[in-house]
Amino acid sequence: MRKIIITIALCLPIGMQAQSINQVLQSIEQNNKELQSQVQLSKAQKMENRTSNNLPDPTVSYSSFYKNGAGPGHGTEFVASQGFDFPTQYITRNRQADLANEAIDKQQQAVRRDILLKAKTLCLDLILLNQEKALMDIRKKNADELEALYAKRLEAGDANILEVNKIKMERMNVQTEVAQNHAACRSALQSLLAMNGNMPLEFADVQYPQVKAINDFNTLRDEVIASDLDLQALSFATKAAEKQVSVNKQDWLPKLQAGFRRNTDSEMSMNGFVVGGSIPLFSNRKKVQIAKAQALSAQLMQEDARLEIENNLMALFNEMQQLKEAMDTYDMPLLYKSLDLLKQALKEGQISLIEYFVEAETVYKNLQARMQLENQYQKVMANIYKNEL
């Protein structure tokens, strides 16, 4: 099959090498604006999680007072203090923030995975369009040869004008399909270009990448469940919610305060310390129950997501098997050889032009059907192994 090179940029640098699917995905990972935005959002969320463990702001106060009556007298008071929690609370909150940030990292990786899967799907569609274009080139080449042959036969009186017109109609149909194919290519390429931040790309593959064979569903399920980024994110979110219960329990501990105090008047000055605290009798009410309910909700969401992923994986596995069986029924070398044999039989007068077109159309449809089956198969496999992107 002839290799068709499709350029994705209008002003491509001279000498730029064609890129494989992996190279295209690497470029998109570097240039995709949505992914860059998600990276910055994740940084902000992780820093925000850390702020819950900051010390409260220190307080400073100064007051000036005077004695009543005619006698002289003036005093001042200066107080600087810092509030803080029990040390164990900082340790617990820090661990909770670590778990929450792990969940954010996994969510970011899941966004990256989904973007790259979308880009890979576009690449797989382009490979199909390239293969179909190559098949159209074969069809057009055969039509051109037949048009030249029957033009000579028409002059010699061995063919009629209806047969020549039939061949011309075949060429027009092929040209229409080529135009539609080109439009579909441009649309897919433009989408791929947008995902790459409008940076130039060149994609020239006409063969699909090798994929790992799948023989056992249970083994596949264990691999997918262990590597699924959505489940990993939910797992860390569940652990963070469970740790939040411990954080809220410790919030019943008193809030402490320590500081420096200086008092002065007209006769003397005194320095001292300020020690105090507050008991959260009201501010922490029902927070433990709220945290427990949120932790249970997170656990149930994780279990539901696991079931959904398993069910979706089973559907993909069944679809993969059906597509593989359907693909194996096609003998591609035989189909291409049949086109040559049909053309040879027509030239030697063994079959009529009508018979040729009927049989050739069947062969073309089978070839295109096989290409579409392989495209669907590759998409299913890409979805199954999406967490390896």
Q: Is residue 123 part of a domain?
A: yes
Can you state the percent helix, strand and coil of the chain, rounding each to 5?
65, 10, 20
Please tell me the total count of domains within the chain. 1
Contact status, residue 262 vs residue 271, Cβ threshold 8 Å: yes
Using left for φ > 0, alpha for ψ between -120 and 50, and beta otherwise, residue 162 falls in alpha
The pLDDT of residue 72 is: 61
pLDDT digits (tens, 9 = 90+) for 367-387: 999 999 999 999 999 999 999
Backbone angles phi, psi at 180, to 5 degrees: -65, -40
Give the domain CATH number at 41: 1.20.1600.10
d(CA 205, CA 180): 20
- Token pair in block for residue 19: 């890129």
d(CA 267, CA 75): 9
pLDDT digits (tens, 9 = 90+) for 297-349: 999 999 999 999 999 999 999 999 999 999 999 999 999 999 899 988 988 88
71 pLDDT exceeds 90? no
Gyration radius of the chain over CA positions: 37
14 pLDDT exceeds 50? no
The pLDDT of residue 70 is: 54
Residue type, 337: K
Average pLDDT over residues 266-272: 81
Q: How confident is the model at residue 4 (pLDDT cuts 50, 70, 90)?
A: very low
Q: Is residue 1 part of a domain?
A: no
The pLDDT of residue 236 is: 95
The fraction of the chain above a pLDDT of 70, given in percent, is 93
Average pLDDT for the chain: 87
Q: Is residue 115 part of a domain?
A: yes
- Token pair in block for residue 383: 């979805």
Contact status, residue 276 vs residue 261, Cβ threshold 8 Å: no
Q: How confident is the model at residue 190 (pLDDT cuts 50, 70, 90)?
A: very high
How far out from the chain centre does Cα 241 lie?
26
3-state secondary structure of 83: strand
- Token pair in block for residue 171: 């060429």
Q: Is residue 56 part of a domain?
A: yes
Q: Is residue 279 part of a domain?
A: yes
The pLDDT of residue 206 is: 87
Q: Is residue 262 part of a domain?
A: yes
pTM listed for this prediction: 0.86
The pLDDT of residue 38 is: 94
The vertex-273 CA angle with 267 and 274, nearest 5°, equals 115
CB atoms within 10 A of CB 363: 18
3-state secondary structure of 20: coil
Cα distances (Å, whole numbers) of residue 386 to 113, 209, 216: 7, 14, 18
Domain with 202, as residue range(s), is 6-13+21-388
Q: Is residue 184 part of a domain?
A: yes
